[in-house]
Amino acid sequence: MSQSSHVITLLPGDGIGPEITAAVVDIIAATGVKITWEEHIAGKAALDKMGDPLPESVLDSIKKNKVALKGPLTTEVGKGFKSVNVQLRKSLNLYANLRPTKTIPGARARYTGVDIIVVRENTEDLYAGIENEIAPGVIQASKIITREASTRIAKFAFEYARVHHRKKVSAIHKANIMKLADGLFLKCCQEVAQDYPDIQYNEVIVDNCCMQLVTNPTQFDVMVLENLYGDIVSDLCAGLVGGLGVVPGANIGTEASVFEAVHGSAPDIAGKGIANPTAMLLSAVMMLQHIAEDHAAERILSAVYRVLGEGKVLTPDLRGDATTRQFTDEIIKFIN
Ligand code: NAI
């Protein structure tokens, strides 16, 4: 363990966010890693208190500390303020969304041996949020795909593959229909692939990709996708290994990185004390690796795997009856 103290921005978030971030903070503290958490609010709570769902102070804190751990934030459907998650990614240029989806020992899932890295472009596509009513009853939403962002995400995926000794990168697309937009994305992936002759490269149309994922998920290694396909396909991947409660995520940029679970604020179970903190905890493990606290990350991983593997103390989403607190205490018990 490093003796130095880290300063990290903490956004507990909405719904189950405060419950699962509290659990994660306790588990990290049990490893002895010294972290000073700079806590901020964002989303509806910040709008009510400070008149802005994403106050400048939040962005300043993340820019200063370069690392944040974030709980889920609620985004209203079809109305309300623009998604703070999307704004955060755009404002901090967190261009790569990284979601490792791996079979977890003990977590009940339909498949074994899944080990897929989903690399999702995080800044453009339909998520640029450009929507216009061009005539009454006619809405136009713009899909923005640029050479710059597509090349950057392709490089990220291939570089990740090389550094982590992965064998294959699959570019997922719908260029048979969106010949210009997805065609450009594919072209950029093909160009980048030429610089990585040691890594296999293939292309899969997104609808076929979904079918292949549920019939034979172990054929996939690293996947690189535009924003919208990445959002959908990464949730599908989460379903292969036990659901949203167990899959971590990271939003990586050149100046800062924000670590967060794949799942949302789960309003249906918020406040009941039964949320599963595993996804948030595994995101925090990615964060600890990012700040070179690898030993603490390893100790947390083996404790989580042990608790999930034994299957005695599990939250209801994993068909157990433990509370978030009981599950957290069980993990802390095995941190040594
Ligand atoms: P959700 O992920 O919040 O919930 C989907 C289902 O999974 C629910 O049944 C929920 O109870 C369950 N679930 C999710 N996380 C769980 C956990 N840790 N433990 C146990 N069960 C869990 O997705 P939903 O309902 O579509 O979205 C709710 C809100 O979250 C929306 O406002 C959405 O915009 C927001 N959201 C925020 C994200 C973020 O901040 N990164 C990501 C996804 C959604």
CA–CA separation, 277 vs 107, rounded Å? 13
Residue 160 among the catalytic residues: no
Residue 235 among the catalytic residues: yes
Mean pLDDT for all residues in the chain:
94
Question: Which residue has the least CA distance to atom 11 on ligand 1?
Answer: 266
Element (H, E) at 7: strand 6-11
Phi, then psi, of 310 in degrees rounded to 5: -70, -35
CA of 263 to the centre of ligand 1 (A): 5
What CATH number should be reported for the domain whose range is 110-240? 3.40.718.10
Query: Is residue 81's pLDDT more than 90?
Result: no
Q: Which of 8-22, 55-69, 77-91, 221-235 has the lowest mean pLDDT?
A: 77-91
Tokens 């079979």 appear where?
Answer: 103
3-state secondary structure of 118: strand
pLDDT tier for residue 90 given thresholds of 50, 70 and 90: confident
pLDDT tier for residue 1 given thresholds of 50, 70 and 90: low
pLDDT digits (tens, 9 = 90+) for 125-152: 998 888 999 999 999 999 999 999 999 9
CB 103 within 8 A of CB 110: no
Which of 235, 265, 328 most suits a substitution to test ligand 1, by most atoms within 8 Å of the C-beta? 265
Full-model pTM: 0.91
CA of 255 to the centre of ligand 1 (A): 28
Q: What share of the chain is helix, strand, coil (3-state, %, to 5)?
A: 45, 20, 40
Phi, then psi, of 114 in degrees rounded to 5: -80, 135
What does the pLDDT average to over 310-333? 94
CB 173 within 8 A of CB 132: no
Residue 26 among the catalytic residues: no
Task: Output the ligand 1 site: residues, CB below 6 A.
Answer: 16, 20, 72-75, 85, 244-245, 260, 263-269, 275-276, 279, 317
Phi, then psi, of 107 in degrees rounded to 5: -70, 125
Query: Is residue 221's pLDDT more than 90?
Result: yes
Helices (H), 217-275: 227-240
Name the residue ranges covered by the structural domains of the chain.
Answer: 1-98+244-336, 110-240
Same fold, 1-98+244-336 and 110-240: yes
Which of 82, 263, 281, 325 most suits a substitution to test ligand 1, by most atoms within 8 Å of the C-beta? 263
Residue 174 among the catalytic residues: yes
CA-closest candidate to residue 81, choices 54, 57, 41: 54
What does the pLDDT average to over 237-246? 89
Phi, then psi, of 89 in degrees rounded to 5: -65, -40
How many CA atoms lie less than 13 Å away from 149 in the CB half-sphere? Answer: 23
Query: Is residue 49's pLDDT more than 60?
Result: yes
CB 144 within 8 A of CB 274: no
1-98+244-336 has CATH 3.40.50.720 classification: no
Beta bridge partners of 38: 9
Looking at residue 316, what is its pLDDT? 92
Residue 82 among the catalytic residues: no
C-alpha torsion sign, points 44, 50, 52, 54: negative
Catalytic residue among 174, 182, 221, 317: 174
Query: Is residue 2's pLDDT more than 60?
Result: no
Token pair recorded at residue 307? 């608790």
Catalytic residue among 48, 207, 272, 321: 207
pLDDT tier for residue 105 given thresholds of 50, 70 and 90: confident
CA–CA separation, 336 vs 233, rounded Å? 36
CA of 264 to the centre of ligand 1 (A): 3
